[in-house]
Structure 1
C-alpha cells in the first residue's frame, strides 16, 4: 500500500507503510511465536491476513483549523490540525462522510478546539461504519455551547448523510489527551448502530467497544466458535464481553453463555440482541468472577492491552475451569498471563492481522487445564 501522507511525512501512524504486506504478516507471526516460545505445546495455525487498505470501520478524527475550513485528522508537532480525510486505511464509507461533516461544522458554526490556546468547542469527530454501510457519528465537544446549533441544523445533516443512523454529542470538558468524555447526548431516534455479523446482529452504542476491523473481528469469532464446538461446553463465561461479540457466536442449544462487562451501554446493546440462552451482567470482570460459587466449562477473555492482571490470573488458576480462550491485542501481556497460569497448557494459537500497516496484531490462544 502507498500513502501520500506517509510519503510527505505528515503522518507516520502506520509505521510499516511501504513494507510489502506478506513481509509484514510474516514478521508479526514470527514475533508472536517468539514471545510465546516458552510454550512449545502451541499448535500454530497460519496467520489470518487482513485487507491492506480500507479496513478500518472507525475513524477518530481530531478537528483543527477553523470553523469554515476545518481539518479532520491529527495534530502536528505544534498542535495544529493536519487533514487526513483521504487516509487509505479507512473504509470508503468513512471517506464519503468526511466532506459532509466538514460542511456541517461550518453550517452549525462549531469552532474547532485549539489546543495551544484552549479555546473552541469541537475536539473530535468519530465515525463508525457497519457491515451494511450505516453510520454512527459522534461530535466530541468541550461543552454544550454549540448543542443548540447542532440540533437546529440536524435535519440538514440527516438529509445530506442519510446513512447516519446514530448521531450524538459527547462532552469532554477536560483539557486532556482523551478521545471522549463520560456524558453522551443521543440526537437521533436510533441509539445504537446495528453491526450485522454471521451469527446475528450486535448493537453498538456510542462509546461501546467493537474491533476496528470488522472482517478480522468475524474471523476471531469464527475461530473461538470452532474451538468451543470442539470442547462442547455446557456453560461459557465471556469476560470483558463488550457488546457481546464472542457470546453471540458461542451461543448454541444446550449451552448457557454469560457475558460480563463494566460498561452499562455495552451490556444494554448485548441484551437487546436477544440471543437465546445468553445473559449479560454489568460488573467488573474480576470482581464478578470472584463472587461466583461455581465455574464454567469454558472461559473466554478479551482484556485490554494491560492484560488480565494478577487477581484474575489467580482466580483462573484456582477456578478449575477446563478450558480458556484468550484473545489478546498485546502478546507481551499475553505471555505474562500465560506464565501466571501454570495449570493450563496452551494447545492452539493463531495470529490475526487486525491492524495492517502497523506492528500491532491480535493473538488468540486456546488453553486446556
Structure 2
C-alpha cells in the first residue's frame, strides 16, 4: 500500500479542498474504480482496462490563487470564512516549478504596490494570480485586476521579475472590473512579447493562449490523448470530429495522413490556440471552428467522433443527434461518470466496448473516464 500524502494546510484545517488528503493513494484509486464500475454497471459486457494512475503529489500544472492581505504583505491562496487571505504557496499538489515561482511573485506584488482586492470592502486591484507550467518548465502568469490602475507600475518593475524567473514566457493582465465570483474577465492585456505558452506533449506541440483551457494534470492529459489515438487508429477513419475540443489536444493527437479532423469549441481563445498548433505542425487537414457542440449538424457524417464535454455531459439534444447520426464510433472522454452513464443510456444504439479510468485529480473523489462506443 502506498504512503498517504501529508499536508500541513489540511491537518491544520486551513484548506480542505483535497477531501481525500491523508488517504493512501492505492485506496483512493480503488474507491474510484468501484464508483465508476457501479455507475456503468448497466453495460457488463464492456471490458475495463487498467486504470491510469497519477503521481499523488506535485501533479497540478496550474495554480489559481486568490490574492489577499495587503500591498506590503500579500497572500496567494484562498480566502477564509471572513474573506481574508490564507497563504497556500507551499501547496503540495501543485508542481515544484509552480511552488518555486510563488515567493518571487509575492515579492513582485509588494514591489509594484498592487493592492489586493478586499472582497468585503470591494476595494483594491489584484483579485487572482493564475499560473500555468508547461512540461518543459516554462510559465504563463496572469494577473487578474479590477482595472488598469496598476499597469504602469507592473510594467515598470517587470524586468526584475523576469530576471528572477526567466522561465516566465507569457505575462498578461486580465481585467475583471465586476464584483462577482468568477475567475477572470474578458479583456486580456499582453505584458510580454510572447503571448502563447508552448506545451510539448510526446511529439505534439500545443500552443496555450491566456484563457484557453488545458487539463490540470499533464501526465494524465497525455494518457487520455494517447488512448483516444489508439482507439481512433483501430478504426482508421477518414473524417473525425472532435467536439468540445478545447485547445485541440485530441484532434492533434489523432491527426494522420489521409485523415481529416475537425474540432468545435465555444471558446474563441481555445480555438485560436488550436489553429496555431495545427498551423505550426503543418497539419492542413486539421481544422477548428468556434461553435456550440450541442448545435451539431450531421450534414457530413464523420466516421468517428470524439466528445469531451464539461461536467454536465452531452445533454438530451446532442445525445439525440448522435443517436440518429449513424456515426460508427464514438470516443467519449468524461470528467463526470454520473452524466456519462446518463448519456450512454440516452444513446441505446451504441454499446460501450472498452472503458478506462484516468486519475486526473488525486486527493479528491474526481476522475476522468474514457469509453469506446460502437454502433450496435
Q: What is the TM-score of this pair, normalised by structure 2?
A: 0.96
Contact 1:199 1:249 (C-alpha < 8 Å) held by counterparts: no
For the pair 1:324 / 2:330, whether they are aligned, the reply is: yes
The reply to whether residue 229 of structure 1 matches residue 233 of structure 2 is: yes
The answer to whether the aligner puts 1:211 opposite 2:215 as a matched pair is yes
Corresponding residue for 1:151? 155
* Partner SS for 1:67: coil
- Tell me what 1:238 maps to: 242
Runs of 4+ in 1 over 3 A off after TM superposition: none
Partner of 2:73: 69
How far 1:255 moved relative to its partner?
1.0
Looking at structure 2, the residues matched to 51 and 267 of structure 1 have their Cα atoms a distance apart, in angstroms, of 30
Taking the aligned partners of 1:317 and 1:164, their CA distance within structure 2 comes to 46
Structure 2: give runs of 5+ residues left out of the alignment.
Answer: none
Aligned to 2:356: 350
How many residues end up aligned between the 2 structures?
A: 367
* Cα distance in 1, alignment partners of residues 235 and 10 from structure 2: 46
Aligned residue in 1 for 2:45: 41
For structure 1, list consecutive stretches of 5 or more residues without a partner in the other structure: none
- Residue number among 290, 293, 299 corresponding to 1:285 in the alignment: 293
Once the two structures are superposed, the pairs formed by residues 5-24 of structure 1 within 5 Å of their partners are: 5-24=9-28
Deviations 1:299-327 (A, max 9, x none): 10001111111211111111110010000
Q: Deviations over 1:75-103 (max 9, x none)?
A: 11111111000000000000111001101
Offset at residue 286 of structure 1 (A): 2.1
Per the alignment, do residues 199 and 295 of structure 1 end up closer, same or farther by CA in structure 2, a change over 3 Å counting?
farther
For 2:156 and 2:45, the matched residues in 1 are separated by 61
The Cα shift of 1:283 comes to 1.2
Tell me how far apart the structure 2 counterparts of residues 5 and 69 of structure 1 sit (CA, whole Å). 19
| TM-score scaled by length of structure 1 | 0.98
**Is 1:364 the counterpart of 2:364 in the alignment?**
no
Aligned partners of 1:310, 1:104: CA distance in 2, in Å? Answer: 49
Please report how far the alpha carbon of residue 263 of structure 1 lies from its aligned counterpart in structure 2 after TM superposition.
1.5
Quote the RMSD (CA, aligned, Å): 0.9
Distance 2:343 2:176 in 1: 34
Residues 89-128 of structure 1 correspond to what in structure 2 (within 5 A)?
Answer: 89-128=93-132
User: Which residue does the alignment assign to 2:343?
Assistant: 337
> Residue 309 of structure 2 is aligned with which of 292, 303, 306?
303
Give the distance between the partners of 2:202 and 2:261, measured in 1 at CA.
Answer: 18
Q: Is the CA contact 1:199–1:248 (under 8 Å) kept in the aligned structure 2?
A: no
For the residues of structure 2 that align with 1:285 and 1:35, how far apart are their CA atoms? 25
Task: Tell me, in whole angstroms, the C-alpha distance in 1 between the residues paired with 2:248 and 2:129.
Answer: 25
Give the C-alpha shift of residue 24 in structure 1.
0.2
Question: 2:363 and 2:273 mapped to 1: Cα distance?
Answer: 31
Who is 1:272 aligned against?
276
78-87 vs 153-162, greater mean Cα deviation: 153-162
Contact 1:213 1:355 (8 Å CA) reproduced: yes
- More off after superposition, 292-301 vs 207-216: 292-301
State the 1:41 CA deviation.
2.3
